[in-house]
């Protein structure tokens, strides 16, 4: 019980609850968006982080997603691969043959500088 004898919720408790709700909303937002490329954007970040961790521990990049224990979700629309890797650079790609049903391919690439490139071929 508080000093004044009143029971209630403090501002800190309210802020903590709002912070938790905000974090959950940020995590779940990509699942509910209509953006068909949200999957590639989310997974390329995981690939980038994994490749950088590997480089820190092995002093080279790897071209093997299995080594990074990366697995695309079973319902994935994209194919993921590391197209090149050596001791100074890497390039990873997320590729979807016909994402929007218009016959065009959707390709995302990322490199060691976290340079993200998006190309579509219609």
- pTM reported for the whole predicted model: 0.61
* pLDDT score for 30: 62
* pLDDT score for 61: 94
Would you call 106 exposed, middle or buried from its count of C-beta atoms within 10 A (0-12, 13-18, 19+)? buried
Q: What is the pLDDT confidence band of residue 91, given thresholds at 50, 70 and 90?
A: very high
* pLDDT score for 17: 94
To the nearest whole number, what is the mean pLDDT of the chain?
A: 83
95 neighbors 76 (Cβ within 8 angstroms): no
**How far is Cα 78 from Cα 25, in angstroms, rounded to an integer?**
24
Domain boundaries, the chain: 37-121
Q: What is the pLDDT confidence band of residue 62, given thresholds at 50, 70 and 90?
A: very high
């Amino acid at each position: 019980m508080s000093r004044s004898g009143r029971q209630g919720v403090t501002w800190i408790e309210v802020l903590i609850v709002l912070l938790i709700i905000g974090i959950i909303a940020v995590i779940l937002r990509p699942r509910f968006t209509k953006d068909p490329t949200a999957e590639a954007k989310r997974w390329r970040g995981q690939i980038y982080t994994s490749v950088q961790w590997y480089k820190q521990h092995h002093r080279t990049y790897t071209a093997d997603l299995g080594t990074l224990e990366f697995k695309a979700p079973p319902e994935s629309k994209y194919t993921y691969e590391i197209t090149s890797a050596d001791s100074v650079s890497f390039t990873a790609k997320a590729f979807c043959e016909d994402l929007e049903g218009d016959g065009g391919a959707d390709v995302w690439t990322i490199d060691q500088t976290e340079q993200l490139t998006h190309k579509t071929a219609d």
